[in-house]
Chain A
Amino acid sequence: MSIGYFPGCSLHGLSREYDESLKAIAPALGLELVEVNDWSCCGASSAHSSSHLLGVALPARNLAQAEDQGIAEVVAPCAACYARLAAARHEIAGDATLAGHINKVLARDFRNSVKVRSILEVMKGALPAIGSKVTHPLKDLKVACYYGCLLVRPVEVTGGYDDPEDPSSMEAVCKAAGATPVKWNRRLDCCGGGLSMSRTGSVVRLGAAILKDAKAAGADAIVVACPMCHSNLDFRQKAMAQRGAWDGEMPILFLTQVVGLAMGLDAKALGLGRHFVRTDSVTTRPAPVAAGEVG
């Protein structure tokens, strides 16, 4: 299946490993990623709080680019990008005046025809493919699936591909990869989002609560699907330790990396070396019994 790909700035910068790991597993999942031409900022995480029009127009521009390319649906791996693109699509669809205004601003005839998918939604759709491609099931790996705020909410924008209060798709993907999701309480809590730089204190407090709860639930690692969450939980673990809020080392994995590992892909190819918190505990686990291992 061919699908439009909107990487967003994080996947070309801070979270290159997310981009690498997604591209690494995409062929196995039958996904052909068609990058949106000349994509630009999606507007997260500040545009919509300064100007509503800008907050809609920026993602709309990217959707318009995709539309011109003949892309029917686009996946935005970053949860913030996803939220902006999907929210813009939702708002324009429900407001003819806004749609007209946006067309004027973009100076083109934008039909708002491009569907926006989250990485979770796409992976959920690819569950059978994942199941069939897993060669190295992550047996005994206990993972805490962390959704954060934007991945499944609000339903009006997401279209309700998962329950906004009790989601299960990430757990399903992890299970398909052979891992064991733990039951824990802070799956949908806020990690501090875009305040990582401006209010580090808040991020430390919120992030530490998440890490602690995951640890208490017995998780070996936390799985995320958002570069923002990743950096707040991974990069900020040191700051948390400095401030005495957290004293462990919890590997934070992208969902794409989890799937990649289960497919037997090389840790390096999946960018696992780029994390601040070492991921050895995950990658160097005793090799599973080679069930249908391909050399």
Chain B
Amino acid sequence: MARIGVFVCHCGENIGRTVDCAKVAELCGQVPGVVHSVDYKYMCSDPGQQMVKAAIAEKGLTGVVVAACSPHMHEKTFRRATAGGGLNPFLCEMANVREHCSWIHEDRDAATVKAVDITKTIVEKVKRNVPLSTIRIPVTRRALVIGGGIAGIQAALDIADGGREVILVEKDPSIGGHMSQLSETFPTLDCSQCILTPRMVEVYQHPRIKLYSYSEVESVEGYIGNFKVKIRRKARSIDEDKCNGCGACTKTCPNKKIPSEFDCGLGKRTAIYVPFPQAVPNLPTIDRAKCLLFMNRAKGRPDTCKKCAEACSKEAIDFDQVDRFVTEDVGAIVVATGYQLYTIGKDQAKPNIKGYGEYGYGTIPDVIDGLQFERLASASGPTSGKIQRPSDGKEPKRIVFLQCIGSRDPQKGMDYCSKICCMYVAKHTMLYHHKVHDGQATVFYMDIRAAGKGYDEFSRRAIEEEGARYIRGRVSKMWRDGDVIKIQGFDTLAGEPIEMDADMVVLATAMRPQPGIDSLAQKLSVSYDQHGFINEAHPKLRPVETNTAGVYVAGACQAPRDIPDAVAMASATASKVLGLFANEMLEREPTVARVDESSCAGCFHCERVCAYGAVEHKEIKDRAGNVLRVIAYVNPGVCQGCGTCQATCPSKSVELAGFTDEQIWSEIQALGV
């Protein structure tokens, strides 16, 4: 028989003013099973908590109900007090008679009746509470970082420097990401590669970082502390152990006209290539779609060429290499897959994105995007840092920058602000003016968003000191007239249409998540928004966690981010990961589901509705080892306690601890007349 103690709190006047607390205590005392029912001015005070502890000992209570404020306020307090009294803390529940009663009603009689109802409901629940204990699960103290851009590099280094092993997976042949393509960075105009390259080398040389470049995550199983990650190591066609990175192979490759991804199509590369001189690892990769030998193989013809293999003194070229798979056990995962730029072309992957017909859908050769401009401005770029337009190599004297292309444009692109464009366009005008002294940079903008340390000063400098002409307005139309680009737009400050000629136009196109982010997110069971950006667990308070425990997010795959933001997020994920790895075991709330093995029919409706993949198949065998039935098993380490499985289970064969059917049934019963 239950022996329940009820403790009604006045909360000073907060509850007592509208609820007759003494009466609540008296009426609840008459409920079968209640052996102790009192009211007190401040239950959460030390003397109040002592009352709970004392009553547990004196009355031999089997459950505690505190009728006071919201459980979100003081459940932890009273569960601790209950534990202090020698009772399992989960045998204590709160009846919310403050937020849900005294504060929202004025009629004292009605509020008192309601407070009694609320408390009786919880009394019935507590009668059916059972002692629960915190779940402990082991933690594999190694981390996986997906993406080798600046965010991934920072996260990997921070975690590795914190003493834990890191697996870093990069889909491209080299780490470095977009930052390695940039010329100089705002607002300090320091050389991007100069600050990035040492970090890349550090990753390569770090004893606790294992780098898988040219690799992708194939599948992820498991849960926080216990992930099993299968990684596809794409065939590079190079024996990584033999290659010494001499580069002889790339010099002999006959196919030299392939647009270089690193130079955004403005430069060329060979079919066997190292994407850029500072690449890490410094290993060539054969682009099988462009290599003569593989193109012949695809057509069923005999192997030809092999010039690279002939040039290689180490016999490191392996035309027969295939994709390999490795499996790594990790306890935490950092997603840092970065971004891509919006293309204004006609064909778009998503129907809501339409491209820009008024700008010729990107068919005018001297209309380029911001990353292409970075390559033009970069000393290591295809023009060695000279500003030359792609069509004829002339130095543009009139350059026009258009901001918000695809950003803040729900009609044709995305409704969000890409955050970095205002700053990099200001930087571009400066770089341009530094290199083309008699040139004029003009910027069409909607607003200038320069919130950040030194940012506004920087953009003001571009305008006021470096002479960039800023026009507030949009360009409505652009076309090619001979070798000039005609621009028609509107100056919203002057209130008049503008027509001007330009030699080159740079579009500050929107930042979007990398393609394939959705399938990666699904593998990781993390949610993403309509644009494909990974959702953080809480926009304010858990900005680098995802809704899947043990999976964290850094950089531009979560939202448009500049370098300092991405690095800060990366370090934040590292601190979260290191915090998780501080203990060998992980403690979890015991509010998890459990399957009744005797009645489970194995229909696995629960598995279908579980957002966490917590439901596993379990075989019930007889003594001879024959499988009798296959039933559901909820992995308590993965279960987050939503209870959707229980509501879905047709035979009610799964119970969520703390919210069992019996408990809910009794609560409803307690409200009966």
Is A bound to B? yes
The residues in B between 437 and 489 inclusive whose CB is less than 8 angstroms from any CB of A are 477, 479-481, 486
A131 contacts chain B at the CB level, 8 A cutoff? no
* A185 and B479 contact, CB distance less than 8 A: yes
B361 contacts chain A at the CB level, 8 A cutoff? yes
* A185 and B481 contact, CB distance less than 8 A: yes
Q: Which residue of B lies closest to A189 (CB)?
A: B477
Taken together as a complex, chains A and B put the C-alpha atoms of A185 and B476 apart, in Å, by 13
B356 contacts chain A at the CB level, 8 A cutoff? yes
Taken together as a complex, chains A and B put the C-alpha atoms of A163 and B481 apart, in Å, by 22
Map CB proximity to A onto B476-516 as digits: 1 under 8 Å, 0 otherwise.
01011100001000000000000000000000000000000
* A165 and B480 contact, CB distance less than 8 A: no
* A163 and B480 contact, CB distance less than 8 A: no
Using Cβ atoms and an 8 Å threshold, which residues of chain A touch B346?
163, 166
B357 contacts chain A at the CB level, 8 A cutoff? yes
A164 contacts chain B at the CB level, 8 A cutoff? yes
Q: Which of B356, B357, B361, B486 touches A185 (beta carbons < 8 Å)?
A: B486
B358 contacts chain A at the CB level, 8 A cutoff? yes
Q: Which of A163, A189, A213, A216 touches B357 (beta carbons < 8 Å)?
A: A163
Q: Which residue of A lies closest to B346 (CB)?
A: A166
Using Cβ atoms and an 8 Å threshold, which residues of chain B touch A166?
346, 357, 360-361
CB distance from A63 to the nearest CB of B (A): 28
The residues in B between 132 and 148 inclusive whose CB is less than 8 angstroms from any CB of A are none
* B479 and A165 contact, CB distance less than 8 A: no
* A165 and B356 contact, CB distance less than 8 A: yes
CB distance from A75 to the nearest CB of B (A): 25
* B358 and A185 contact, CB distance less than 8 A: no
Using Cβ atoms and an 8 Å threshold, which residues of chain A touch B358?
165
Which secondary structure characterizes the binding site on chain B? mixed
Taken together as a complex, chains A and B put the C-alpha atoms of A204 and B226 apart, in Å, by 75
Using Cβ atoms and an 8 Å threshold, which residues of chain A touch B356?
165
Q: Which residue of A lies closest to B488 (CB)?
A: A189
Q: Which residue of A lies closest to B479 (CB)?
A: A185
From A185, A186, A213, residue with most partner B Cβ within 10 Å: A185
* B481 and A164 contact, CB distance less than 8 A: no
CB distance from A242 to the nearest CB of B (A): 24
CB distance from A191 to the nearest CB of B (A): 15
Taken together as a complex, chains A and B put the C-alpha atoms of A216 and B481 apart, in Å, by 9
Counting chain B residues whose Cβ lies within 8 A of the other chain, the interface size class is 10 to 19
Taken together as a complex, chains A and B put the C-alpha atoms of A153 and B12 apart, in Å, by 67
Using Cβ atoms and an 8 Å threshold, which residues of chain A touch B480?
185
Taken together as a complex, chains A and B put the C-alpha atoms of A188 and B360 apart, in Å, by 12
CB distance from B410 to the nearest CB of A (A): 14
The residues in A between 158 and 199 inclusive whose CB is less than 8 angstroms from any CB of B are 163-166, 185-186, 188-189
Q: Which residue of A lies closest to B361 (CB)?
A: A166
Q: Which residue of B lies closest to A164 (CB)?
A: B357
The residues in B between 349 and 385 inclusive whose CB is less than 8 angstroms from any CB of A are 356-358, 360-361
CB distance from B417 to the nearest CB of A (A): 23
Taken together as a complex, chains A and B put the C-alpha atoms of A186 and B481 apart, in Å, by 11
Using Cβ atoms and an 8 Å threshold, which residues of chain A touch B477?
188-189
Map CB proximity to B onto A197-231 as digits: 1 under 8 Å, 0 otherwise.
00000000000000001001000000000000000
Taken together as a complex, chains A and B put the C-alpha atoms of A213 and B482 apart, in Å, by 11
Q: Which residue of A lies closest to B499 (CB)?
A: A209
Using Cβ atoms and an 8 Å threshold, which residues of chain A touch B486?
185
From A165, A185, A188, residue with most partner B Cβ within 10 Å: A165
* B481 and A165 contact, CB distance less than 8 A: no
CB distance from B242 to the nearest CB of A (A): 52
Taken together as a complex, chains A and B put the C-alpha atoms of A189 and B497 apart, in Å, by 14
CB distance from A131 to the nearest CB of B (A): 25
Map CB proximity to A onto B613-632 as digits: 1 under 8 Å, 0 otherwise.
00000000000000000000
Map CB proximity to A onto B318-360 as digits: 1 under 8 Å, 0 otherwise.
0000000000000000000000000000100000000011101
CB distance from A98 to the nearest CB of B (A): 23
Taken together as a complex, chains A and B put the C-alpha atoms of A137 and B360 apart, in Å, by 30
CB distance from B465 to the nearest CB of A (A): 36
Taken together as a complex, chains A and B put the C-alpha atoms of A280 and B358 apart, in Å, by 35
The residues in A between 130 and 168 inclusive whose CB is less than 8 angstroms from any CB of B are 163-166
Q: Which residue of B lies closest to A166 (CB)?
A: B357
Taken together as a complex, chains A and B put the C-alpha atoms of A164 and B486 apart, in Å, by 20
CB distance from B145 to the nearest CB of A (A): 42
Using Cβ atoms and an 8 Å threshold, which residues of chain A touch B361?
165-166
Taken together as a complex, chains A and B put the C-alpha atoms of A164 and B354 apart, in Å, by 11
Map CB proximity to B onto A108-140 as digits: 1 under 8 Å, 0 otherwise.
000000000000000000000000000000000
Using Cβ atoms and an 8 Å threshold, which residues of chain B touch A165?
356-358, 361
Using Cβ atoms and an 8 Å threshold, which residues of chain B touch A164?
357
Map CB proximity to B onto A274-287 as digits: 1 under 8 Å, 0 otherwise.
00000000000000
Taken together as a complex, chains A and B put the C-alpha atoms of A189 and B480 apart, in Å, by 15
Using Cβ atoms and an 8 Å threshold, which residues of chain B touch A213?
481
Taken together as a complex, chains A and B put the C-alpha atoms of A174 and B295 apart, in Å, by 41
Taken together as a complex, chains A and B put the C-alpha atoms of A213 and B479 apart, in Å, by 11
Using Cβ atoms and an 8 Å threshold, which residues of chain B touch A189?
477
CB distance from A216 to the nearest CB of B (A): 8
The residues in A between 241 and 288 inclusive whose CB is less than 8 angstroms from any CB of B are none
Taken together as a complex, chains A and B put the C-alpha atoms of A268 and B357 apart, in Å, by 38
Taken together as a complex, chains A and B put the C-alpha atoms of A228 and B367 apart, in Å, by 34
Taken together as a complex, chains A and B put the C-alpha atoms of A27 and B358 apart, in Å, by 37
CB distance from B503 to the nearest CB of A (A): 17
Using Cβ atoms and an 8 Å threshold, which residues of chain A touch B360?
166
The residues in B between 150 and 188 inclusive whose CB is less than 8 angstroms from any CB of A are none
Taken together as a complex, chains A and B put the C-alpha atoms of A213 and B486 apart, in Å, by 12
CB distance from A70 to the nearest CB of B (A): 35
Q: Which residue of A lies closest to B359 (CB)?
A: A165
Q: Which residue of A lies closest to B354 (CB)?
A: A165
Q: Which residue of A lies closest to B355 (CB)?
A: A165
Using Cβ atoms and an 8 Å threshold, which residues of chain A touch B481?
185, 213, 216
Taken together as a complex, chains A and B put the C-alpha atoms of A188 and B479 apart, in Å, by 12
Q: Which residue of A lies closest to B481 (CB)?
A: A185
Taken together as a complex, chains A and B put the C-alpha atoms of A164 and B356 apart, in Å, by 10
Q: Which residue of A lies closest to B478 (CB)?
A: A185
Taken together as a complex, chains A and B put the C-alpha atoms of A165 and B359 apart, in Å, by 9
CB distance from A160 to the nearest CB of B (A): 10
CB distance from B81 to the nearest CB of A (A): 60
Taken together as a complex, chains A and B put the C-alpha atoms of A164 and B346 apart, in Å, by 12
Taken together as a complex, chains A and B put the C-alpha atoms of A186 and B357 apart, in Å, by 13
CB distance from A168 to the nearest CB of B (A): 11
Taken together as a complex, chains A and B put the C-alpha atoms of A85 and B358 apart, in Å, by 26
Taken together as a complex, chains A and B put the C-alpha atoms of A165 and B346 apart, in Å, by 10
Taken together as a complex, chains A and B put the C-alpha atoms of A226 and B358 apart, in Å, by 22
Using Cβ atoms and an 8 Å threshold, which residues of chain B touch A186?
479
Taken together as a complex, chains A and B put the C-alpha atoms of A188 and B361 apart, in Å, by 15
Taken together as a complex, chains A and B put the C-alpha atoms of A216 and B361 apart, in Å, by 22
The residues in B between 218 and 253 inclusive whose CB is less than 8 angstroms from any CB of A are none
Taken together as a complex, chains A and B put the C-alpha atoms of A185 and B477 apart, in Å, by 9
Q: Which residue of B lies closest to A155 (CB)?
A: B354
Taken together as a complex, chains A and B put the C-alpha atoms of A163 and B361 apart, in Å, by 12
Taken together as a complex, chains A and B put the C-alpha atoms of A222 and B480 apart, in Å, by 19
Using Cβ atoms and an 8 Å threshold, which residues of chain A touch B357?
163-166
Taken together as a complex, chains A and B put the C-alpha atoms of A164 and B361 apart, in Å, by 12
CB distance from A154 to the nearest CB of B (A): 10
CB distance from A102 to the nearest CB of B (A): 28
Q: Which residue of B lies closest to A186 (CB)?
A: B479
Taken together as a complex, chains A and B put the C-alpha atoms of A164 and B412 apart, in Å, by 12
Taken together as a complex, chains A and B put the C-alpha atoms of A163 and B479 apart, in Å, by 17
Using Cβ atoms and an 8 Å threshold, which residues of chain B touch A163?
346, 357
Can you list 20 contacts pairing A with B, beta carbon distance less than 8 Å? Answer: A163-B346, A163-B357, A164-B357, A165-B356, A165-B357, A165-B358, A165-B361, A166-B346, A166-B357, A166-B360, A166-B361, A185-B479, A185-B480, A185-B481, A185-B486, A186-B479, A188-B477, A189-B477, A213-B481, A216-B481
Closest 6 CB pairs of A and B: A165-B357, A185-B479, A166-B357, A165-B358, A163-B357, A166-B361
A sample of 16 more A-B contacts (CB under 8 A), given A165-B358, A185-B480, is A163-B346, A163-B357, A164-B357, A165-B356, A165-B361, A166-B346, A166-B357, A166-B360, A166-B361, A185-B479, A185-B486, A186-B479, A188-B477, A189-B477, A213-B481, A216-B481
